[in-house]
Structure 1
Amino acid sequence: MKIWIDISNAPHVRFFKDVIKYFEDEGDDVLVTARKFGDIHKLMDMYDIDFISVGKHGVTLEEKLKESAERVVNLADLISGEGFDVALSKHSIELPRVAFGLGIPSLFVLDNEHAMAANKLTLPLCSKIIVPNIIDMWKLMEYGANPNDIIRYNGTSELMHFNNFVFNENIFEDLGLDLPLQRTILMRPEPSLASYLNTDCRKSVLSPVVDVLKEYANILILPRFKEQAEIFEGIKNVTILKPPVDTSSIIKACDLVIGAGGTMNREAAILQTPVISCYPGDTLSVDQFYVNNGLMYRTTDLEDITKQALSFIVNPHKPIDFKTDDLFDLIVKNTYELGGSKK
């Protein structure tokens, strides 16, 4: 079977890496395309994934429109006539449009119900949509999704990141980090360049949090791009990590994660490292899933963040048992079904 997978954001590399390997081991012909954005290409190389680079990210609305339109054309030229049986993506804007136009069944993985523009452009065109149970199906229908095409599961997409995870207990030493204080906190700034979040990429909601907590713990900052790194340069007890790095081992080795984004917060919840979400937008349903299970604390109030942070690093929560579905199996099964395979 011929499978096309498109990767448009850095977390999607870890999401798809084991799926790609599985299909290749099964003898399927897999083509992976990836746009130039953030650390995508570096992560692809780190995980030894062969790919074709197509297109890049736009910053302004006009740039986003033009870059996406150009990427559709370039992908169509690449994919057309190659006889693909099925296409697979997670929040790629272009894959559903190209696949629909070329008559290729597409499987779409969704976890952000607030990404209005992206969802309107993609959901009506997808053959099947895999979505967490906690996301309101009516919201997806408002974007044009066919309820008969929605496949629901208990959990979130970050479960895929840990299929073959092996914890590196020496991660801090391997990175050569100077950590003078007893406790260590990992912080991830907000996704300022995303279309669904209107924020200044040269500022961060984490700045006042760092100013307070740097006296109590080592602070590791994992920026998304150069401008974010510059915000935190030269601050006492603050180390700026240079991706790509083994973020899973870093999360597990830290005493606390404070994130203004989404993916890393949910990864911390799965690994059961205490995590505080201070994401500046509306609370995502997938974050609420972990809040409901006692695995994430959600607040944007500086005093509350500080209070909870100090509480967590002194008294971390005990392991919490929570059950999820096998998302990996769900993706593999539906990919083969859409592609017409009997595997």
Structure 2
Amino acid sequence: MVISLKIWIDISNAPHVRFFKDIIKYLEAEGEDLIVTARKFGDIHKLMESYDIDFISVGKHGVSLYDKLNESTNRVAQLTDLINGEKIDVAVSKHSIELPRVAFGLGIPSLFILDNEHALAANKLTLPLCDRIITPEIISVWNLMKCGADPNSIIPYKGTSELMHFNNFNYNENIFADLNLELNHPKTILMRPEPSLASYLDTDCRQSVLSPIVDVLKDYANILVLPRFREQSEIFEDIENVTILKPPVDTSSLIKKCDLVIGAGGTMNRESAILQTPVISCYPGDTLSVDQFYINQGLMYRSNDTDDIIQKALNFIVNPHQEINFESDDLFNLILDNIYDLGK
């Protein structure tokens, strides 16, 4: 008789939906018993529904420091009530603040996937409580240990978490037509504003580092902006040759179809590097190690100088780089192996 595992997966940010979707589908196909929880934040719920993932909505995101603490505290209590008595074999998350705390408190082995060493507050609250931490090898173990991680719990791999987004990627070459885009220029640039509401970035959600870049490049290319929330949409409204996209959209096909990506965040930039679309990172914080991985490979250009970004962008849309091969590990199976090992 085959006994299935009972696995809890918590999703706290929109990119995590794409990260976990194939893991969830695989585990379900193997007959494992899954509980998937997701907080209300951004496009998480819409994405979960678009990928046909059954989930339980628990808690929401806070904006101010007080709200973040209050909402997280409430969510810990709600998740504890939900998970207690479920006899979970293993708990899995990517940068969830609450899952490691609930799992530790209830004696559930936990697997944590990490790719941001600069999220100090979140890492200090979670890493000391995790049984295993899967992280890119380019991230310094010492930085994780400073946040309380047990070095024996750290499992490094070559690459970044965005590799998981393309396990079953089917490119839609007609993505522009499907989105009914009105494109006046032969070249198209996709832009993603900064994660202004994140605790690790001190920025104004009603302003964007992309604004002066858009003001110039809109005369040379079609600009597609994928905002994170309403205030960012308002920044770019009613500008000629600028289209504001309404998520959820097939961002992978969109990235591959565009001639250039300029991103003030992280995930979409790294996805662009993997898909070999020229990408300029203008992330306003310190350079993340996972970005440095692609910068080192020649797959990402990094700058916070507006004039430099504009000149590099004009060069990229005329002279894109040739395809660059890079090595990476099989993150999908690394995660599965550790889930099954912890759940024994």
TM-score normalised by the shorter chain: which range applies? over 0.9
Q: How much has 1:3 moved relative to structure 2? A: 0.2
Q: Tell me which of 281, 287, 291 is aligned to 2:285.
A: 281
Equivalent residues in 2 for 1:17-56, closer than 5 Å: 17-56=21-60
Alignment partner, residue 137 of structure 1: 141
Alignment partner, residue 262 of structure 2: 258
Alignment partner, residue 180 of structure 1: 184
Q: How much has 1:148 moved relative to structure 2? A: 0.2
Give the partner amino acid of 1:3. I
Alignment partner, residue 196 of structure 1: 200
Q: How much has 1:180 moved relative to structure 2? A: 0.9
Q: How much has 1:48 moved relative to structure 2? A: 0.3
1:247 aligns with 2:251: yes
Distance 2:42 2:336 in 1: 27
TM-score by length of 1: 0.99
Alignment partner, residue 13 of structure 1: 17
Gaps of 5+ in 2: none
Distance 2:190 2:248 in 1: 15
1:79 aligns with 2:83: yes
Distance 1:246 1:23 in 2: 24
Q: How much has 1:12 moved relative to structure 2? A: 0.1
Give the partner amino acid of 2:250. D
Could you give the per-residue CA deviations for residues 257-308 of structure 1, whole angstroms, max 9, x where no partner exists?
A: 0000000000000000000000000000000000000000000001110110
Distance 1:266 1:179 in 2: 25
Q: How much has 1:56 moved relative to structure 2? A: 0.1
Q: Tell me which of 86, 94, 97 is aligned to 1:93.
A: 97
Could you give the per-residue CA deviations for residues 173-226 of structure 1, whole angstroms, max 9, x where no partner exists?
A: 001000110000000000000000000000000000000100000000000000
Gaps of 5+ in 1: none
Q: How much has 1:314 moved relative to structure 2? A: 0.2
Give the partner amino acid of 1:161. H
Could you give the per-residue CA deviations for residues 15-52 of structure 1, whole angstroms, max 9, x where no partner exists?
A: 00000000000000011000000000000000000000
Distance 1:207 1:339 in 2: 48
Distance 2:266 2:106 in 1: 33
Q: How much has 1:5 moved relative to structure 2? A: 0.1
Give the partner amino acid of 1:93. I
Alignment partner, residue 112 of structure 2: 108
Alignment partner, residue 67 of structure 1: 71
Give the partner amino acid of 2:275. L
Q: How much has 1:246 moved relative to structure 2? A: 0.2
Q: How much has 1:170 moved relative to structure 2? A: 0.1
Q: How much has 1:121 moved relative to structure 2? A: 0.1
TM-score by length of 2: 0.99
Moved over 4 A (4+): none
Distance 1:215 1:274 in 2: 19
1:157 aligns with 2:161: yes
Alignment partner, residue 306 of structure 1: 310
1:2 aligns with 2:34: no
Distance 2:125 2:75 in 1: 14
Q: Secondary structure at the match of 1:131?
A: strand
Q: Secondary structure at the match of 1:282?
A: coil
Distance 1:316 1:166 in 2: 23
Q: Tell me which of 310, 318, 329 is aligned to 1:325.
A: 329
Alignment partner, residue 218 of structure 2: 214
Could you give the per-residue CA deviations for residues 284-341 of structure 1, whole angstroms, max 9, x where no partner exists?
A: 000000000000000000111011000100000000010100000000000000001x
Q: Secondary structure at the match of 2:9?
A: strand
Q: How much has 1:89 moved relative to structure 2? A: 0.2
Question: Percentage identity across aligned positions?
Answer: 77
Q: Secondary structure at the match of 1:31?
A: strand
Distance 1:92 1:321 in 2: 32
Could you give the per-residue CA deviations for residues 45-101 of structure 1, whole angstroms, max 9, x where no partner exists?
A: 000000000000000000000000000000000000110000000000000000000
Alignment partner, residue 290 of structure 1: 294
Give the partner amino acid of 1:268. S
Distance 2:330 2:111 in 1: 17
Q: How much has 1:158 moved relative to structure 2? A: 0.2
Distance 1:299 1:305 in 2: 6
Distance 1:253 1:82 in 2: 45
Q: Secondary structure at the match of 1:19?
A: helix
1:121 aligns with 2:125: yes
